[in-house]
Chains A and B, each alone.
Chain A
Amino acid sequence: MHGRIRTWGPGALVLLPTVLLLGYFVYGLIAWSFNTSLTDRHTARKGPAEYVGFDNYVNLFGEERFLNSLKNLGVLTVAFIVGTLIFGLLWALLLEKGLRGEGIFRSIFLFPMAISMIASGVVWGWLLNPSQGDDARGLNRLFSILHLNVLENPWWTGGSRWTTMASIALPAVWQLSGYIMALFLAGFRGIPGELREAARVDGASEFKLYRHVLFPQLSPIALSALIILGHMSLKLFDLIYAITGPNQFRTEVPSVYMWNTLLRSDMAKAAAISIVLLAVVAVLVIPYVAYTVRQESEE
């Protein structure tokens, strides 16, 4: 008996603080938020609140502003993930082919990640100035100097939901493509040279080499990249706040809406929004966790 405790005791003791802290600050608070979302606590007033079941959720999904924020979030996530994956993979391919001065390019591509979202949001807020023609500023000015006037556009202040949210995704793509590049580059480098040699000996063209030999090896990395980008996009708040300010219907996503709701002390509604957001993130993350656990147990 004494011997058994010696085996698992230290491990359990090391884990205990983490488990307690996680239990309270993560799961406990999720439970508390969920509990709040079922009540009618719509003011900061103290005192007992009545349980109203799922009324807050029903109200949310009947509200144009919330549905609009969900749609914005969907478009933002797609634009962000697709954009970042394309640029990240493209840069990784270029560097993988052996470019001169690779180190410099790697730093340049990775550098934006070092900047906080709120800081880059302020700068991109200026770059995405919607003025065009003679008054153009920011990127529009750059385009007009380069005689690329067709590219000038009102960015997030005009046009469809797609143009709006893709403009918002642009700075995020700029910031995270380097990170995705690093992931893919590590993946490429991890593939043994013999595989390429063998494929070339078998007479595979460069295209076929990538298509059938290299890319399949990268699929676990692509999946992690997808998950990382996906949940980052769902939680995006600072960038949008910095570029458009808090009360912008066109670009509002659930996290910003939650902030606005909290400011008006509508605790129950804010909690309901946060639980919906959590559910959306969970839809993305849980299958991934299940997949990795299955993979690991197979190994």
Chain B
Amino acid sequence: MRGGWSKTVAALGAVGLLAVSACGNSDDGGSGDAAASKDVTVFTWWADGGEKAGLDGLVSVFNTECKDFKFVNSAVAGGAGSNAKQVLANDLAANKPPSTFQAHAGAELGDYIRNGQVDDVSDLYKEFGLDAAFPKSLIDNLTVDGKIYSVPANVHRANVVWANPAVLKKANLDATKAPASVDAWIADMEKLKAAGVKAPLATSKGFAQEMVMEAVLLAELGPDKFTGLWKGETDAAGADVTAALEKYKKVLSFSNADREAVDWPDALSYVNKGQSAYTLMGDWVAAQQLSDKVPDSAYTYWPAPGTGDTFQYLADSFTLPTNGQTPDGAKCWLKVVGSAEGQKAFNTKKGSIPARSDAVATDYPKYQQAAMADWKAKTIVPSCAHGAACTLGQNDSILSAIGQFSSGMDVPTLQKALAAAVKPA
């Protein structure tokens, strides 16, 4: 019996130790001594490729500009940020925010603002001179009730069509010029089909189809009504939206059968291999083509048909979380993110363009130079698929409807879901 007791105690002790060590591990992140409080934890979903290279560029500037602080990478990979957003939501709910986190500028940030999770950084804009460096249209897009809550690191353009000139030549189409309208585009795709191209438009699942829908809506409604759509100012149930969605249906019917099973780099490779003529995707394609060593002559690009006067943007930005660790260090990070040097270090590697309008174009590759000129000249409209126009919740509802539409092709159902999603709460 004695032996029985001592064994029991030993077993209990072991369980107790396990429990204590498990708790200890989870607490490590929160408790910080004086040395650790200089750490600046930067939360992103930039874990590899051009994104990681861009982040490394920012870090090198940070290391020289903010010598008092230490950069701690807390990137979460995968799922185009959806995994990271889940982890971030948990950290924020547990009151353990990082020093600064990545968030799409615009409506997606609205979730964090409403939840009281990010601080107003308007003062920093004055301090760093960012209010003069960023174009007014961007600042207007970032401002919520007179306050700004994040510093954008870059700008991407969403409404770009990437085309294969060799395939277009088969149908005697002019590769140098975008079709004038969605109707003209549809006519071109008819010709391509007649010339033996089975799926003239390559696209992929989820947000890629959402981007095609957005481009068609933007072309058909015009920039003002399109922007109003996401704010609940344009009637989403209206006849003009119905007509636009009918055209989206037509456009989608020219796309590849396996669109639900592939990702955007696969769709891009269909174009590069000549199986398809076009793919519609944001300008991170330029960085992908560069890293895949596709020569400039093998592809061409223009704004999505009918949207040439607009620049549909999305921007990655950094925030100052409420009660975040090392706020001084976080401010120094934000200063680097907004600075001309930081934006150059980041954007030349990530394939995006700087948000600052005083950037020197010749520092950048060919595609970015053209995009920078457009960024200054065109009407800026936000993208829903990438959080500039929609909250995470709205985007979830729209993505679900897009997936349903891809197989059923039922316009009234899609329009109903769209109208329900954009209805202001």
Q: Which residues of A does B touch, CB under 8 Å?
A: 6, 10, 13-14, 16-17, 21, 43-46, 65, 125-126, 128-132, 135, 137, 154, 156-158, 244-250, 252, 259-260, 262-266
How many residues belonging to B are interface residues under a CB distance threshold of 8 Å? 42
Determine if A44 and B206 form an interchain contact, defined as CB atoms under 8 angstroms apart: no
Given A263-B396, A264-B396, A246 and B401 touching (CB < 8 A)? no
Residues of A within 8 A of B256 (CB): 131, 135
Given A45-B115, A247-B400, A157 and B261 touching (CB < 8 A)? yes
How distant is the Cα of A135 from the Cα of B261 in the complex, in angstroms? 13
Given A129-B258, A130-B258, A13 and B86 touching (CB < 8 A)? no
Asked whether B30 is an interface residue with its Cβ less than 8 Å from the other chain, the reply is: no
Residues of B within 8 A of A21 (CB): 19
> CB within 8 A of B116: which of A45, A135, A247, A250?
A45
Determine if A247 and B261 form an interchain contact, defined as CB atoms under 8 angstroms apart: no
Residues of B within 8 A of A158 (CB): 407
Residues of A within 8 A of B406 (CB): 157
Asked whether B336 is an interface residue with its Cβ less than 8 Å from the other chain, the reply is: no
Residues of B within 8 A of A252 (CB): 400
Binds A, one of B9-17, B51-59, B170-178, B352-360: B9-17
B149-190 vs A: 1/0 string, CB under 8 Å?
000000000000000000000000000000000000000000
Q: Which residues of B does A touch, CB under 8 Å?
A: 1, 4-5, 8, 11-12, 15-16, 19, 79, 82, 85-86, 89, 92-93, 111, 114-117, 198, 205-206, 256-258, 260-261, 275, 391-393, 396, 399-404, 406-407
How distant is the Cα of A188 from the Cα of B166 in the complex, in angstroms? 65
Given A158-B407, A247-B206, A263-B82, A17 and B260 touching (CB < 8 A)? no
> CB within 8 A of B257: which of A6, A125, A154, A260?
A154
Judged by DSSP, the binding face of B is helix
Q: What is the CB-to-nearest-CB distance from B384 to chain A, in angstroms, rounded to a whole number?
A: 13
Determine if B205 and A245 form an interchain contact, defined as CB atoms under 8 angstroms apart: yes
Determine if B12 and A250 form an interchain contact, defined as CB atoms under 8 angstroms apart: no
7 A-B pairs whose Cβ atoms sit less than 8 Å apart in the complex: A43-B111, A43-B115, A44-B92, A129-B258, A135-B257, A246-B79, A262-B86
Determine if A14 and B12 form an interchain contact, defined as CB atoms under 8 angstroms apart: yes
> CB within 8 A of A262: which of B89, B117, B206, B257?
B89
Determine if B5 and A10 form an interchain contact, defined as CB atoms under 8 angstroms apart: yes
CB closest residue in chain B, given A265: B89
Determine if A244 and B396 form an interchain contact, defined as CB atoms under 8 angstroms apart: no
Residues of A within 8 A of B86 (CB): 259, 262-263
Question: 10 closest A-B pairs (Cβ-Cβ)?
Answer: A247-B399, A249-B404, A264-B393, A44-B115, A157-B260, A131-B258, A249-B403, A17-B15, A45-B115, A248-B403
